[in-house]
Structure 1
């Protein structure tokens, strides 16, 4: 079964759609994060949950 680690981001209400996209694209490209969930609140702020797979190294004898 896959194991993931999560990161939460909070984007204030003044963040434009283009700026949010740029931040998420950078995280995905350089940090190997993928979008797990995005919540857009009525005041315009966003809460973003990112996840990435945890790869465990197995020792071979």
Structure 2
């Protein structure tokens, strides 16, 4: 069974698309995050949810 950890990012109304894209690209490349959900609110803010797999090692004795 896969387990994920989540991280939320919020972008205010005035954030350009290129700035948001650059921030998401850096999270994806260096932190191995993938896009899970984007919510656009009526006031113009965006809430982005990122996720990545949790890799657990089994301990055998």
Q: TM-score, normalised by structure 2?
A: 0.92
Q: How many residues matched?
A: 61
- For structure 2, the residue ranges without an aligned partner over 5 or more in a row are none
Tell me what 1:31 maps to.
31
Which residue number corresponds to residue 15 of structure 1? 15
Per-residue CA shift, 1:7-43, capped at 9, x if unaligned? 0011100100111000000000000000000011222
TM-score, with structure 1 as normaliser: 0.92
TM superposition outliers: structure 1 runs of 4+ over 2 Å? none
**Structural RMSD (CA):** 1.0
